[in-house]
Amino acid sequence: MTSPILYEGRHTGGFLISEANGHRSRGTSTITNSGGTAVRYQAGTVMSLGLGTPTATKGADDVGNGTIGTPTALVNAMPGDYLLEATSSTVFEVTAPNGDILPNLTVGTAYANQIGISISAGGTAWAVGDTIVVNVPAAVGASTYTGAAPANAVLWDEVWVDPGATVQIALIIGSAEVTIAHLVWDPAVAASVDPGSAALQTIALSELAALGIIGR
């Protein structure tokens, strides 16, 4: 009798070299199958997370009364709350949702690092400890990276999605090292399908690195 050939799938988190303490590197989203057959997504698949419209909220006890511009999510934004905390009347420290400290924001100067926002001085100066929270919602789910939207996450575990179903997925979203050879690409990006797609992989790895997901 001839034994069947068995293929071992990708292991949960098998692509991961290291991550931050606690849950700083982890995130969740959803993925929807609008097709007519079940779809398998392997651990290590490079993903694009859809982001909703950001909002900015002043702290209830803020002293300063300056104007806060409408925030935007830039290509390397991540879902969650960005904390802006005044360290002086003209400078805010910016902390990303995963705990990373981003470059400072200067009052009166347009800020563009993961998020875009402008904060101006008012009649009453900003005081040390004043806070502004910029929330970037992950509102529209995830899809495999194809180059149409930025790469900003890596799928943690294998998942099957039945036709018409939406399932919750776990992701690496920042502050991690990953093995490039163990990443899984959408067929539109796989080098074996299109020689030009190697450039898309390079772009994706650069976008992931901007979020702290470093390929090795």
Q: What is the pLDDT of residues 180-209, one digit of tens each?
A: 999 999 998 887 667 777 899 999 999 999
What pLDDT does residue 7 have? 62
Portion of the chain with pLDDT greater than 70, in percent: 95
Are 86 and 64 contacting, i.e. CB atoms less than 8 angstroms apart?
yes
CATH superfamily label, 16-50+140-215: Head decoration protein D (2.40.300.10)
pTM of the entire predicted model = 0.69
Q: What is the pLDDT of residues 134-186, one digit of tens each?
A: 999 876 789 999 988 889 999 999 999 999 999 999 999 989 999 999 999 99
Strand partners, 29: 169
| Dihedral class, residue 214 (left if φ above 0, else alpha if ψ from -120 to 50, else beta) | beta
Q: What is the pLDDT of residues 81-134, one digit of tens each?
A: 999 999 999 999 999 988 889 999 999 999 999 999 999 999 999 999 999 999
pLDDT class for 51, splitting at 50, 70, 90?
confident
pLDDT class for 55, splitting at 50, 70, 90?
very high
What pLDDT does residue 192 have? 67
